[in-house]
Structure 1
Amino acid sequence: MEQTTEAEFDAQFNVNVKGHYFTLQRLLPYLADGSSVLFTSSASATAATLNTSVYAATKAALNKIAQVAANELAGRKIRVNVISPGPVATELVLAAPEEVLNNFASSTALQRLGQPEELARAILFLASDDASFVTGTELLVDGGWTNYAYK
């Protein structure tokens, strides 16, 4: 917190909160009744990890916006949900040093990084009719990262 500038704070909120909010607002006239909206957040919104105060706050704000939107759009049968990944083996993550990768993996209850395909299946579920009674929900796809006691 001590090193975060106001410009960095504003930049993160502009991308992670304002960007999502106004994108949804502008899409509303084009969404058919019964549509599904899915925000990508982060398990950091639930965890209280060191050195992530602004990022975590933006993701928590996004999650709350999704919950309110789910209520506001329920009359149109539009479902709004959130997917919150934990450590996933993306190209960016895999470029990190092996020590960092091992730390990420060992910080999850399942002791490994998630695979992009696992995240994709969770996204497909929330977007599908199989989740027709799910709205205003955050689905943590984090291998137990947010509740693992031995981080």
Structure 2
Amino acid sequence: MADGASVIFTSSRVAAAAGVASSVYSATKAALNKIADIAVNELAERKIRINVVSPGPIQTPGLLTVASEEIQDYLASRSALQRLGNAHEVANTVLFLASDSAAYINGADIAVDGGSIQYMLK
């Protein structure tokens, strides 16, 4: 990897959640976040930026396969924006973090969740 590179991990908002039947998925995403935290320090001398993108509920073919319309509506209702996100919104966040416009962003975990966590805590 070249000095000055940008590494972007894809995690999930469930890394910090304690949802029923999500222990393995949540734990692997939490571990990924910790790897990113450590990599920030390990790669600092090479000026390699490490960031994490953590999507919330995103309308993808995978979600449509496993979640009924009722579940999708429920997930959307838990977002401050009252909808599911889409893959382009996640991709645009990744593109931004990889760009020179984000040259001073390092060690961040960017939530792409429509404000779900804050909205659920209101």
1:99 matched to which residue of 2? 70
Match of 2:28 among 33, 58, 63: 58
Match of 2:8 among 17, 38, 42: 38
Q: Which moved more, 1:75-84 or 1:88-97?
A: 88-97
For residues 1-150 of structure 1, what are the structure 2 equivalents within 5 Å?
Answer: 31-95=1-65, 96-149=67-120
SS of residue matched to 1:80: strand
Percentage of identical aligned residues:
57
Residue ranges of structure 1 left out of the alignment (5+ in a row): 1-30
Aligned residues: 121
Deviations 1:99-122 (A, max 9, x none): 111111112121100011111110
The TM-score, its normalising length taken from structure 1, stands at 0.75
Structure index of larger Rg: 1
For residues 46 and 72 of structure 1, what CA distance do their matches in structure 2 show? 23
Q: Which moved more, 1:47-56 or 1:112-121?
A: 47-56
Q: Larger strand proportion, structure 1 or 2?
A: 2
Cα RMSD (Å)? 1.6
Task: Note closer, same or farther for the CA distance 1:78–1:98 as it changes in structure 2 (3 Å cut).
Answer: same
Residue ranges of structure 2 left out of the alignment (5+ in a row): none
- Would you identify which runs of 4 or more consecutive aligned residues in structure 1 move more than 3 Å? none
Q: Larger helix proportion, structure 1 or 2?
A: 1
Q: State the Cα distance separating 1:150 from its structure 2 match.
A: 6.6
SS of residue matched to 1:50: coil
Deviations 1:47-84 (A, max 9, x none): 22222122111111110110110111010010011110
Greater relative contact order structure (CA < 8 Å, 6+ sep): 2
For residues 47 and 117 of structure 2, what CA distance do their matches in structure 1 show? 31
Letter paired with 2:116? W
The TM-score, its normalising length taken from structure 2, stands at 0.91
Letter paired with 1:81? N
